[in-house]
């Protein structure tokens, strides 16, 4: 009878443990299901949002990508400002760059942090990301004084420098370079792709500007100052010690296709950065000035800048 009683007690103990294990398995399964459902939902893209600009005296459009889980939490996210090229607008990265699919996949694979991606329009009114020399269309002022504050007020964006990056293609690559050089206090990482690298020669700059009268009425002194502000050499040669320290602290990723007509300027930038001892990653890869190349690079850009957003 003693042995029978022990067997009964042992069977009861095993049964209770099995019930606990079953509940635990069900609980873990439900958690995994909830997580997988959130991930399966993917991110959200709003193709056309607007911000009122007093500087440009008009409403300006932008597209925005919100990462998976944005609406299911109160978490704040790092932000990437992703700039389009000449001839496109804020929808370029959405339509041709497939930003939603690529961002969802890169995040789901664990290669990049969840981030908000902002894609502003720089194709309405005067095309480009800079203030014009004549001073009547100051897009760069709008970007820093109105767009970024609007994004940080409207969306759950982490506002420290370490959580802000900029990237772009072609004309947007040029915007990336000079936004980071002009405001190194604002960006932890910069990734120009197939970039238009700006002005390398003052006389060529004057001749090119003469075709569209963009320097009409501007004094020689202001022309030289404008050239230097939009010349990589000019910015670096005139940078303060503190600005140069910050420029060197930016994580730079420079990429261009070997068949890209802008390869020379990108190679020249690489050489200049080497001479100035500015740490950077420089990539020349098989490809041309095409969306095929930029779609290939976007996951790598997201992975690269995520290392700035995280401790490494």
pLDDT tens figures, 89-99 = 999 999 999 99
Q: For residue 33, give its domain range.
A: 1-41
Nearest to 197 by CA among 262, 277, 132: 262
Question: What mean pLDDT is predicted for residues 249-263?
Answer: 98
Instruction: Calculate the CA 2 to chain-centre distance.
Output: 74
| Residues 117, 13 share a domain | no
Q: What is the CATH number of the domain that holds 70?
A: 3.40.50.1820
pLDDT at 217 (0 to 100)? 85
Q: With bands split at pLDDT 50, 70 and 90, how would you rate the model's confidence at 38?
A: very low
pLDDT at 18 (0 to 100)? 64
Total number of domains in the chain: 2
Nearest to 226 by CA among 206, 255, 244, 197: 206
pLDDT at 208 (0 to 100)? 82
pLDDT tens figures, 213-233 = 788 888 999 999 999 999 999
pLDDT at 12 (0 to 100)? 58
pLDDT at 144 (0 to 100)? 98
Give the residue with greater pLDDT, 38 vs 231. Answer: 231
| Residues 292, 177 share a domain | yes
| Residues 16, 53 share a domain | no
pLDDT tens figures, 275-308 = 999 999 999 999 999 999 999 999 999 999 999 9
């Amino acid at each position: 009878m003693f042995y029978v009683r022990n067997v009964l007690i042992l069977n009861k103990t095993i049964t209770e443990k099995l019930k606990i294990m079953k509940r635990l398995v069900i609980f873990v399964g439900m958690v995994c299901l909830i997580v997988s459902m959130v991930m399966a939902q993917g991110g959200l893209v709003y193709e056309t949002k607007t911000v009122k600009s007093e500087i440009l005296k008009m409403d300006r459009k932008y597209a925005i990508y919100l990462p998976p889980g944005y609406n299911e939490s109160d978490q704040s996210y790092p932000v990437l400002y992703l700039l389009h090229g000449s001839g496109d607008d804020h929808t370029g990265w959405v339509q041709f760059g497939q930003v939603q699919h690529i961002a969802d996949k890169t995040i789901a694979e664990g290669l990049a942090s969840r981030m908000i991606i902002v894609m502003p329009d720089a194709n309405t009114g005067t095309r480009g990301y800079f203030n014009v020399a004549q001073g009547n269309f100051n897009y760069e002022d709008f970007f820093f004084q109105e767009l970024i504050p609007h994004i940080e007020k409207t969306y759950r964006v982490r506002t420290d420098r370490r959580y802000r990056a900029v990237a772009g293609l072609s004309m947007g690559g040029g915007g990336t370079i000079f936004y980071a050089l002009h405001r190194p206090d604002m960006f932890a990482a910069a990734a120009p792709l197939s970039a238009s690298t700006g002005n390398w020669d003052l006389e060529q700059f004057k001749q090119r500007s003469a075709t569209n009268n963009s320097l009409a009425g501007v004094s020689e002194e202001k022309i030289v100052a404008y050239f230097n502000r939009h010349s990589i050499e000019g910015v670096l040669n005139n940078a303060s010690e503190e600005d140069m320290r910050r420029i060197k602290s930016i994580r730079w990723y420079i990429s261009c296709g070997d068949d890209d007509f802008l390869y020379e300027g990108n190679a020249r930038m690489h050489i200049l950065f080497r001479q100035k001892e500015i740490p950077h990653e420089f990539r020349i890869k098989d490809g041309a000035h095409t969306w095929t190349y930029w779609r290939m690079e976007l996951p790598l850009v997201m992975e690269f800048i995520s290392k700035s957003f995280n401790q490494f």
